[in-house]
A and B are shown apart, each in its own frame.
Chain A
Amino acid sequence: MIELFNISIQLGKRQVLEQVSLKINKGEFVYLIGQTGSGKTTLLRLIYMDVFPDRGNVIVDSYSSSTILPRHVPFLRRKVGVIFQDFKLLPDRNVYDNIAFALQVIGAPQRTIKSRVLSVLTRVGLHHKRYQMPQRLSGGEQQRVAIARALVNKPFILLADEPTGNLDPQVARDILHLLENINRSGTAILMATHNYDLIRQYPHRTLVLENGNFSREINPEELA
């Protein structure tokens, strides 16, 4: 599914990750915690091949970072959904168009686009707001749109980089609840977060990244 073998990567002059190995199984929910600058975002970027390791190998589905051709990277990304703390929505398109855009740019037929977008909007509970512009939505709703956009391609894994960082606690719990539902339907989730309360409320396998390396795998109840 997803495997990182002895990954080392330097960005600029900083050694971000050193000898990191990791395996995420099909349908698994994994938290990634660590201090700011510990390499969480870089690890996620390695998985959707936005950056490549200096040493080691990343295997994502049938793709390997050491052998993948640049022209095949987009096809890998269609199997991996990504969401961010700042949502990254297009402010000049409504909710429906923001999600449809993900299918339009990969050349999906119009009929497929319509049915998939409406289906995923129902799934994230925003069907009734499909014609709203993103700036008219709350933070939680905007993150739901971002999740819908990430899911519309039916990825096997959803990478979430601090998805609740901009949200108040209740909305953050709603988003986690949604992510759990998505995970239950078979999509694996790898979520980088600082929100230990959420991890305690929705416990899953939790990896601690320290000084560019996995120090340990902890029990969520251990989190202070």
Chain B
Amino acid sequence: MRLLFLLKEGIAGFKRARLAATISIATITLSLSLIGMFALLVHHLSAQFQQTYGRIQLEVFIDPAIDSAQRQALEGRIQQLAAVEAVQYVSPEMTLQRFQQDFGDDLLTVLEGENPFPPSLQVILKKEYAELEKVEAAVEAIRALPQVDEVIFQEKFIRLINRYFFIGLIVATTIGATIFFISTMLIFNTIRLTIHSRKTVIEIMRLVGATHFFIKAPFVIEGLLQGLIGSLLASGALWLMSDLLRAFFLPGLTIPWMYFLFLCGTGILLGLLGSYFSIGKYLKF
């Protein structure tokens, strides 16, 4: 009976303060759409970045006198390292061919018919080993292996990527946190206004002896519903927006389903907390 009354009151709150509830839901929808779009874009750009630059490649030059069995054993040992995702043998002929493609057939004339390139192994590191310290550790481990002459990698490039990725991450986090903060304040204030418009109800409830739980519950339920509806609408808007972006600008854009869960959770939480704290102002005793 009590729970039913609280639920009915919570839902009836929408009808009783239609305009305020609509504004509240619209604010939640807009704020969460903004947060969702920003998070989605950051996620997409970060994924693209990782895809393009995230896999570090090492060139491992090996002893030219190595025989096939020894080379395969070495490949196996490198492959066993935790940082390594793939190892591929590059013969001197393959290297020459590549150079020929880049510099033209004249290269053989310049080299007077000889192939000066040593055999090498192309080692691709796992994505999670894209940081400089981890790359250096992997390089040291490979250098320590017998029959490895030299290991080279694009140290400067990795430093640059790491730095810009870090700066980008800080900038994105700052912008994201600012959007989230402003949205939260906006939602809280809108809910506060919604509750303020019904302060007579709260006053009457207090006067007739309703407990704080009984006074708060309908407003918290209402706030929760507003948050849920707002977040569902924001999820819909995000889905539509991502569809448009995918069609016209970002073909590879995908939305992890966790994003919708995050939006719904955030919406519910903001609606719930916003109404809980706003109503507290009217309930000293």
- Name A's B-contacting residues (CB within 8 A): 48-50, 52, 70-71, 73-78, 82, 88, 90, 92, 101-102, 104-107, 109-110, 149, 153
CB atoms of B1 and A74 under 8 A apart: no
Q: Which of A75, A77, A110 contacts B206 (CB 8 A)?
A: A77
Q: Can you list 18 residue pairs at the A/B interface with Cβ under 8 Å?
A: A49-B285, A52-B285, A71-B212, A73-B285, A74-B212, A82-B207, A88-B200, A88-B207, A90-B201, A92-B16, A101-B208, A105-B205, A105-B209, A106-B208, A106-B211, A106-B214, A149-B208, A153-B208
Q: Does B2 contact A (CB under 8 A)?
A: yes
Chain B residue numbers with a CB within 8 Å of A71 are 211-212
Distance in angstroms between the alpha carbons of A52 and B285 in the assembled complex: 10
Do A105 and B210 form a contact, CB below 8 Å, given A49-B285, A52-B285?
Answer: yes
Check B155 for interface membership: any CB of A closer than 8 A. Answer: no
Q: Which residues of A contact B206 (CB under 8 A)?
A: 50, 74, 77
Q: A90-B204, A106-B209, A107-B5 are in contact. List 9 more A-B contacts (CB 8 A).
A: A48-B207, A52-B285, A70-B285, A77-B209, A101-B208, A105-B205, A105-B214, A149-B204, A149-B208
With an 8 A cutoff between CB atoms, is B215 at the interface? yes
Q: Are B212 and A107 in contact (CB under 8 A)?
A: no
- B208 interface neighbour in A50, A73, A77, A109, Cβ under 8 Å: A77
A102 to B207, CA, bound (A): 9
Residues of B within 8 A of A70 (CB): 285
- Chain A residue contacts of B1, Cβ below 8 A: 107, 109-110
B274 to chain A, nearest CB (A): 22
**Is there contact, CB below 8 Å, between A101 and B285?**
no
* B203 interface hit (Cβ, 8 Å): yes
> Distance (Å) between the CB of A142 and the closest chain B CB?
14
Are A105 and B208 also in contact (CB < 8 A) when A49-B285, A73-B285 are? yes
A50-B285 in contact (CB<8A): yes
Min Cβ gap A23→B in Å is: 23
Lowest 8 CB-CB distances: which A-B pairs, in order? A78-B209, A105-B210, A77-B209, A102-B208, A74-B209, A107-B2, A74-B211, A73-B285
Residues of A within 8 A of B205 (CB): 105
CB contacts under 8 Å to A, within B1-41, are 1-2, 5, 16
* Distance of A175 Cα from B5 Cα, bound (Å): 32
The CA of A92 and the CA of B15, in the complex, are separated in Å by 10
- List the interface of chain B (C-beta within 8 A of A): 1-2, 5, 16, 200-201, 203-212, 214-215, 285
**CA distance in complex: A136, B127 (Å):** 73
A77 and B207 form a contact (CB under 8 A): yes
Q: In the bound complex, how far is the Cα of B36 from the Cα of A206, in angstroms?
A: 66
Point out the residue from B5, B201, B203, B210 that lies within 8 Å of A74, measured CB to CB: B210
A71 to B284, CA, bound (A): 11
For the complex formed, measure the closest distance between the CB of B119 and the CB atoms of chain A, giving whole angstroms.
82
Cα-based distance from A161 to B212 in the complex (angstroms): 24
Residue on A nearest B201 in the bound complex, by CB: A90
Q: Which residue of B lies closest to A152 (CB)?
A: B208
* Minimum C-beta distance from B221 to chain A (A): 14
> In the bound complex, do residue A106 and residue B285 qualify as a contact, i.e. CB atoms below 8 Å apart?
no
User: Which residues of chain B are within 8 angstroms of A49 by Cβ–Cβ distance?
Assistant: 285
Smallest Cβ-Cβ distance to A106: which chain B residue: B209
Report whether A153 and B204 are in contact in the complex, using a CB–CB cutoff of 8 Å.
no
Q: How far is the CA of A117 from the CA of B163 in the complex (A)?
A: 73
**Residue in contact with A153 in the complex, picked from B203, B209, B211, B214, CB distance below 8 Å:** B209
Asked whether B209 lies within 8 Å of A107 as measured between CB atoms, the reply is no
Residue of B nearest to A104 (CB): B5
In the bound complex, residues from chain B placing their C-beta under 8 Å from that of A104 are 5
Give Cα distance in the complex from A207 to B215, angstroms.
Answer: 35
**Which residues from A are CB-within-8-Å of B214?**
105-107
Task: Tell me, rounded to whole Å, the shortest Cβ–Cβ distance linking B10 to chain A.
Answer: 13
Cα A149 to Cα B207 with chains together (Å): 10
Once bound together, how far apart are the Cα atoms of A106 and B205, in whole Å? Answer: 9
Instruction: Please name the residue on chain A nearest to B208 by beta carbon.
Output: A102
Given the contacts A77-B209, A107-B214, A88 and B285 also touching, CB distance less than 8 Å = no
The CA-CA distance from A70 to B215 in the complex, in Å, is 14
Q: Nearest residue in A to B204 (C-beta to C-beta)?
A: A88
Identity of the chain B residue whose Cβ is nearest the Cβ of A73 in the assembled complex: B285
Min distance, Cβ B11 to any Cβ of chain A, angstroms: 14
Q: Are B204 and A75 in contact (CB under 8 A)?
A: no
**Once the chains are docked, how many angstroms separate the CA of A155 from the CA of B203?**
18
Whether A75 pairs with B209 at a CB distance below 8 angstroms is yes
Contacts of A52 in B (CB 8 A): 285
Residues of A within 8 A of B215 (CB): 105
The CA of A48 and the CA of B204, in the complex, are separated in Å by 13
